[in-house]
Homo-oligomer: A and B are copies of this chain.
Amino acid sequence: MEPAVLEAIASPRRREILRLVWTGEQSAGAIHRAMPDVTFGAVSLQLRTLLEAGLLEARTEQRNRYYRVRREALGPVAEVLERMWDDALWKLKLAAGLEETRRGPKPRRGRGKRT
């Protein structure tokens, strides 16, 4: 594995892009629409970085350019990323659970003051 791969997946922005194309190719525009906090240009540059690291490949159809992930370039790291994303979901769910708990907490069990 090339060092460039490790560098590429270190950036949250680039991981966001990888995640977006993880299950199927997306056009550059669609990717940008999913991250409206940055300009199209910024997205395009990150796409280039990912391309050059070999983590993405692209094809042009009409006016659009579609990007897809090259999982083989990631090797075992693919599963690491998937697990990270799953964990993040899990934590969100957990947070939601805690919210509920805060609204109606179970009283602490165990030995209380025996008066």
Residues of A within 8 A of B (CB): 1, 3, 6-7, 9-10, 12, 15, 75-77, 79-80, 83-84, 87
Contact = CB atoms under 8 A, between A and B. Distances in A.
Given A3-B15, A6-B80, 15 more contacts: A1-B84, A1-B87, A3-B12, A3-B84, A6-B6, A6-B9, A6-B10, A6-B15, A7-B10, A9-B10, A75-B80, A76-B77, A76-B79, A76-B80, A77-B80
Secondary structure at the A interface, as helix, strand, loop or mixed, is: helix
A97 B93 CA distance: 56
Contact of A80 (B1, B7, B10, B84): B1
Contacts of A10: 6-7, 9-10
